[in-house]
C-alpha cells in the first residue's frame, strides 16, 4: 500500500488514470471523519449504526460530507462539532445510494456519486506497494487556455455579483498536461472576513454540480490572503480573477 496521503493520491488520480486504483484503495483503508447527526456522540467510533448529517443544495441534491482529518473537519465547521471516526470502507458500504462529498471547502474536495461508490465497493484493486512512492513534482496550477466550463463560470460570476461578501474569484487548471480537458479546475474565492464560508460553499457546489460538464472534479477553496507561497499566493499574485467585486 502506498504511503502517500489520500489528498496526494486524489490530485494524481485526477490527472493520471493509473493512480485511480491507488486512490480508491487508500480511500477504503483510511480513517475518515464525518459530522454526526442527532444522537451521535462526539468522537464516537462507528461500528453498528450511523447517524449522519447531510448538506442539501438549493436544487435539493443531498450529499454527506466527510473529511480526511479531524483538523479539516474542525476548520470547516468550527470547534466542538459532533463527529464520528470511521473506516472508508464502512462509510461507503453504510451510505450506498447517497452522494458523498470529500473535504468540502478545501482544495482536495471531490464528489462521489452512487455509481462510483458501487464500483469502488465491488472492485478488487491491483495496486503495487511501491507505485509512485514520491508525490509528482510535475503537478502544476496554470491558467485555463480554452473556453472550458464557460456556463459554470458564468453562473458562478452571476452568483457572486448578487451575493454580499465575495471580493474576487480565480480559476485555474491543475495538471501537467497541455490539454486543459485532461485537467481539473481549481476555483479560489476571496471573501470578507465576516462571511460564513459553509453556506457560501454549499451554494457554489450546487452551481458546480448543475453546470460542470460531465460531473468533472472541481476544487473549491477559500483563499488565504496572508499566504506568501502556495496555491492562494499563486492565484492572487500571478493570475487575473474571473470575478472582481466593483468598488
**What digits encode the pLDDT tens for the residues 182-237?**
567 788 899 998 888 878 888 888 888 788 766 566 778 888 888 777 778 888 88
Looking at the structure, give the CATH architecture of the domain made up of residues 6-122. 3-Layer(aba) Sandwich (3.40)
> 52 near 94, Cβ under 8 Å?
no
236 vs 234: CA distance, rounded Å:
6
Asked if residue 41 has pLDDT above 70, the reply is no
State the average pLDDT for the chain: 77
244 vs 174: CA distance, rounded Å:
22
C-alpha cell at 120: 469502488
pLDDT band at 166 (very low <50, low <70, confident <90, very high): very high
138 vs 219: CA distance, rounded Å:
19
Question: Where does residue 18 fall: left (phi above 0), alpha (psi -120 to 50 degrees), or beta otherwise?
Answer: alpha
* Total-model pTM: 0.50
pLDDT band at 244 (very low <50, low <70, confident <90, very high): very high
Write phi, then psi, for 188 (nearest 5 degrees): -110, 135
pLDDT band at 39 (very low <50, low <70, confident <90, very high): very low
Percent over 90 (pLDDT), the chain: 17
- At residue 161, the pLDDT reads 94
β-sheet bridge partners, residue 63: 55
Which of 65, 54, 2 lies closest to 29 in space, CA to CA?
2
Mean pLDDT of 47-74: 71
Helix or strand (DSSP H, E) at 118? helix 114-122
Taking the alpha carbons at both ends of the chain, their separation in whole angstroms is 52
Which of 181, 167, 243, 178 lies closest to 212 in space, CA to CA?
181
Lowest mean pLDDT among 55-59, 106-110, 198-202: 55-59
Alpha carbon 23 to its chain centroid, in Å, reads: 14
- At residue 192, the pLDDT reads 92
DSSP string, 29-84: HSEEEEEB-TT--TTEEPSS---B--EE-TT--EEEEEESSHHHHHHHH-TT--EE
Same fold yes or no, 6-122 and 141-244: no
Q: What is the dihedral of CA 41, 42, 43, 49, to 10 degrees?
A: 30
Domain residue ranges in the chain: 6-122, 141-244
CATH of domain 141-244: 3.30.300.30
Amino acid at each position: 500500500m502506498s504511503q502517500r496521503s489520500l489528498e496526494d493520491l486524489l490530485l494524481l488520480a485526477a490527472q493520471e488514470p493509473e493512480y485511480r486504483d491507488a486512490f480508491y484503495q487508500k480511500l477504503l483503508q483510511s480513517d475518515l471523519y464525518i459530522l454526526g447527526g442527532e444522537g451521535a456522540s462526539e468522537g464516537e467510533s462507528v461500528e453498528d449504526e450511523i447517524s449522519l448529517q447531510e448538506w442539501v443544495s438549493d436544487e435539493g441534491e443531498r450529499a454527506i460530507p466527510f473529511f480526511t482529518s479531524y483538523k479539516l473537519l474542525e476548520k470547516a465547521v468550527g470547534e466542538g462539532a459532533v463527529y464520528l471516526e470511521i473506516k472508508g470502507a464502512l462509510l461507503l458500504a453504510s451510505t450506498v445510494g447517497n452522494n458523498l462529498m470529500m473535504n468540502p471547502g478545501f482544495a482536495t474536495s471531490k464528489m462521489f456519486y452512487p455509481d462510483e461508490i458501487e464500483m469502488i465497493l465491488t472492485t478488487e484493486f491491483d495496486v503495487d506497494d511501491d507505485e509512485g512512492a514520491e508525490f509528482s513534482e510535475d503537478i502544476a496550477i496554470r491558467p485555463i487556455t480554452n473556453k472550458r466550463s464557460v456556463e459554470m463560470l458564468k453562473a458562478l460570476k452571476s452568483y457572486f455579483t448578487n451575493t454580499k461578501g465575495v471580493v474576487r474569484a480565480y480559476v485555474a487548471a491543475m495538471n501537467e498536461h497541455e490539454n486543459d480537458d485532461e485537467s481539473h479546475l481549481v476555483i479560489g474565492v476571496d471573501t470578507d472576513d465576516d462571511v460564513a464560508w459553509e453556506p457560501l460553499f454549499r451554494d457554489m457546489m450546487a452551481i458546480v454540480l448543475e453546470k460542470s460538464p460531465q460531473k468533472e472534479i472541481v476544487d473549491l477553496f477559500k483563499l488565504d490572503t496572508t499566504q506568501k507561497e502556495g496555491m492562494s499566493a499563486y492565484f492572487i499574485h500571478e493570475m487575473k480573477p474571473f470575478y472582481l467585486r466593483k468598488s
